[in-house]
Amino acid sequence: MFRHCNNRKWFALIMDVPKNKLGLQGEEMLEVVDFKCDPILIGTLREEPGFFPAYHMSKDSWITVALDVQRIR
């Protein structure tokens, strides 16, 4: 977990998530990073391979990214 040094608010979180929780087939674990993102960019980023609606965070201001895009297939 990564926190801002002044206000201690989270801005990123690295974790393992089952593929099926991201809308993919299978239950294999996938390493991802959830990070805080400008809401204006989220819609565009979700169209790219390896980008998903935020897992376990607000989907309005967070996005999930697979750390190994090759494993999302």
Q: Is 39 strand, coil or helix?
A: helix
**Residue 11 binned pLDDT confidence (cut-offs 50, 70, 90):** confident
Q: Which amino acid would we find at residue 21?
A: K
* Rounded alpha-carbon distances, angstroms, from residue 71 to 9, 38, 40, 55, 62: 30, 26, 27, 17, 21
User: Global pTM?
Assistant: 0.82
Map out the domains of the chain with their CATH numbers. Answer: 2-72 (3.90.1150.30)
Query: Is pLDDT above 90 for 4?
Result: no
Task: Read off the pLDDT of each residue in 28-53 and give the average, rounded to a whole number.
Answer: 92
Task: Read off the pLDDT of each residue in 37-42 and give the average, rounded to a whole number.
Answer: 92
Both tokens assigned to 15: 């974790």
Query: Is pLDDT above 70 for 1?
Result: no
Residue 33 CA to residue 13 CA, distance in Å, equals: 5
- DSSP assigned state of 70: G
